[in-house]
Amino acid sequence: MPVIRFVREGRDVECYPGENLREVALREGIELYGLKGKLGNCGGCGQCITCFVDVEGAPDAALTAPTAVEVQKLRRRPQGWRLACQALVQQSLAVVTRPQAGLADRDALLAEALSRPLPPGPLAWPTPVEAEPEDPEAGVEAGGTTTSDEANAEAPQGR
Ligand code: FES
């Protein structure tokens, strides 16, 4: 499972691959929003641009590619910033929440966070398990009797 290393909070949080970064943070009680976002945010629609995170140093594949709305909304923000509500976690990464608020010793904290190993998370998405082909003998129990489902299906309908 991928691990999100929240640098400001000093916490590592596991999540499922494909989970939304904003939802993981909120579930874990991580404060994503500054004052403006606390007073009112869009609930994860990509419209309020208050859920900034800085993912500088993260592998490109750690998050899904920026969405079109995210590219448009972040065009004047530093490279490495993402909108947490638009990013799905694919691999482990370190994240600085509320980068707009500043963080004393940010560079040192981020370097330290990136120096400690993180599990890579899944290297590939799980492939769906193929369903077994239907067995025509399925449902016929030993001795040639049928299951109750088949008996019900064969029972006369009506009345
Ligand atoms: S929560 Fe509004 S843009 Fe992310």
Residue environment code for 62-80, b if the CB has 16+ CB neighbours within 10 A, otherwise e:
bbbebbeebeebbeeeeee
Q: What is the pLDDT of residues 28-80, one digit of tens each?
A: 999 999 888 889 999 999 999 999 999 998 888 999 999 999 999 999 999 99
pLDDT at 131 over 90: no
Q: What is the pLDDT of residues 107-126, one digit of tens each?
A: 999 998 898 888 877 655 55
Can you tell me which atom of ligand 1 is nearest the CA of 42? 2
CA of 105 to the centre of ligand 1 (A): 26
Q: Which residue has the tokens 């638009």?
A: 86
CA of 64 to the centre of ligand 1 (A): 16
Can you tell me which atom of ligand 1 is nearest the CA of 46? 3
Domains annotated for the chain, with CATH where assigned, are: 3-115 (3.10.20.30)
**Stated pTM of the model:** 0.74
CA of 99 to the centre of ligand 1 (A): 14
